[in-house]
Amino acid sequence: MKFLHHPQIDRLSIRLPGFFLRICLGLFCIGTARSWALPELQSNIDPPAIIIKLQPSAEITGSEIFLRDIAVVSAPQSISEKLLSLRIEKAPDPGMKQLLSKAKISAALSSLNDIQTETNLNGPEFIQIHRTCQTLEEEYVRQVLHNYIDQQINNSEFKIGVIKFHGKNRLPAGNLSAAVTRHTSDKLLGNVKFILSIQVDNQPNDPVSVSAWINRYEEVVVTKHELSKGSLIAEQDLHMRKRDISKTPENVCMHVDDAIGKRVRQNMRAETFLRSSMLETPPTIYKGDRVKIVAGNGLLLVSAKGLAQTDGHMNQPIKVQNINSKRNIIGRVVDHSTVEVNF
């Protein structure tokens, strides 16, 4: 086969490979330029909006409400941490509930001026907030009172009765401890009110008031047998017995010496505990006793026989009659047979 040669066609055929090479190089450069420009284009894209989804209800343990307690946040980590630690408002008292409005949360969010990203706040218009609490258990309080009373009365025998709480017994959740700071009864018996200081997680809380009936068992003076009104008490008439003194009057006799030599003012049965109001001190001189009347001024002392007209106690005034003159005079009892009269 014979090929015909044309000069222009021959020149074109020579230039075609170079032409296509230049086209390919141009396309490669354009693609490379676009790939280098891509990061710059991506840097101008706005970050995604922050999404905050509110929960319909939440339980709070602390005294403050934070966003982390009531919402789920979708945002970059640095922004998310700041949002979650945002304080909204004070929490209700332990054990109480309250409604938290979406508007209040939005107002708290608006205070974060350094966050410029668009924020979407989604969820209910109100959130039901409930603060958790704990109570003082009676057995724990009983142990606290027992330790305190035991120290105060030097390990004397006692028993704690019914414990009553006064006011609210709702405390914040956490590690709780209590201690008695004061009480209302000096003798720590009968119905006693105690004030307890409270700490939760080593932080002080409002004090709690409780009352309890304290039975105290002490040795008291008791009659061995029946005693008639007017009897003089001797040591053999009495003995000591342990009794619950929480319901006894305050004037109960705690020592035998408080009763020996006293006179009984009423009939008494055996095993009756003695009170000072049941006893009286017998007179030193009885009505009708013969006495010696003495009078003096330091230089002169005279005496006369007399007759007691009334009962008289030691160092107390008594009426006596001078047997010789039949004259009644007032003197002071000195002893069982002597009355002193001033000039």
Point out the domain boundary residue: 131, 157, 184: 131
> Are 120 and 144 in a shared domain?
no
Q: What is the pLDDT of residues 111-132, one digit of tens each?
A: 887 777 788 999 999 999 999 9
Structure confidence at residue 4 as a pLDDT band (50, 70, 90): very low
Could you tell me if residue 30 is inside a domain?
no
Six token digits for residue 38: 């891509």
Same domain, 101 and 169: no
Q: Do residue 328 and residue 303 come from a single domain?
A: yes
Does 40 map to a domain? Answer: no
> How far is 210 from 191, CA to CA, in rounded Å?
11
- The last residue of one of the domains, among 74, 104, 131, is 131
Looking at the fold, whether 295 and 259 belong to one and the same domain comes out as no
Q: Pick from 141, 245, 127: which is nearest to 185 by CA?
A: 245
Residues present in the chain in total: 343
pTM metric for this prediction: 0.64
What's the structural domain count of the chain?
Answer: 4
Task: Give residue 10's pLDDT.
Answer: 47
93/242 Cα distance (integer angstroms): 48
Instruction: State the CATH number of the domain containing residue 312.
Output: 2.30.30.760
Please tell me whether residues 149 and 97 are part of one structural domain.
Answer: no
Domain boundary, last residue among 195, 216, 237: 216
Co-location of 272 and 297 in the same domain: no
pLDDT at 34 over 60: no
Q: What is the pLDDT of residues 277-317, one digit of tens each?
A: 999 999 999 999 999 999 887 677 888 999 999 999 999 99
List the helix and strand counts (H, then E) for the chain.
Answer: 5, 20
- Residue 163 and residue 200 in one domain: yes
DSSP string of 153-167?
A: TTT-EEEEEEEEEES
Q: Quick one: pLDDT at residue 270?
A: 94
- Within a domain: 240: yes
Assess if residue 269 is contained within a domain.
Answer: yes
> Looking at per-residue confidence, does 22 or 283 come out higher?
283
* Token pair of 308 as six digits: 């007691």
Please tell me the predicted confidence (pLDDT) of residue 38. Answer: 42
140-155: b or e for each residue (b if 16 or more CB lie within 10 Å)? Answer: ebeebbeebbeeebee
Q: Are 121 and 147 in a shared domain? A: no
What is the structure's pLDDT at 7? 47
**Can you give the CATH number for the domain in which 274 is found?**
3.90.1210.10
Residue that wins the pLDDT comparison between 23 and 332: 332
CATH number at residue 85: 2.60.480.10
Q: What is the pLDDT of residue 273?
A: 87
**pLDDT, tens digit, for every residue of 216-253?**
999 999 999 999 998 999 999 999 999 999 888 878 99
Co-location of 209 and 145 in the same domain: yes
Asked, for residue 105, whether it belongs to a domain, the answer is: yes
Q: Is 57 within the bounds of a domain?
A: yes
Within the chain, what is the greatest distance between any pair of CA atoms? 198
Q: What angle do CA 293, 296, 298 make, to 5 degrees?
A: 150
Residue 162 lies in a domain: yes
Using pLDDT thresholds of 50, 70 and 90, give the confidence band for residue 17. Answer: low
- What's the angle, vertex CA 148, arms to CA 145 and CA 151, rounded to 5? 145
Percent of all residues in the chain with a pLDDT value above 70, rounded to a whole number: 85
Exposure string over 323-335, b if 16+ CB within 10 A, otherwise e: eeeeeebebebbe
pLDDT cut 90: percent of the chain above it: 67
Residue 22 domain-assigned (yes or no): no
Same domain? For 114 and 146 the reply is no
Task: Judge whether residue 48 has pLDDT over 90.
Answer: no
Q: Which residue, 67, 64, 70, is CA-closest to 92?
A: 64
Contact yes or no for 249/272 (Cβ under 8 A): no
Tens digit of each residue's pLDDT (9 = 90 or more) over 160-209: 999 999 988 999 999 999 999 999 877 899 999 999 999 999 999 999 99
Q: Does residue 35 surpass a pLDDT of 70?
A: no
Domain that holds residue 176: 138-216
Same domain assignment for residues 108 and 56:
yes
pLDDT in tens, 130-157: 999 999 999 999 999 999 999 998 878 9
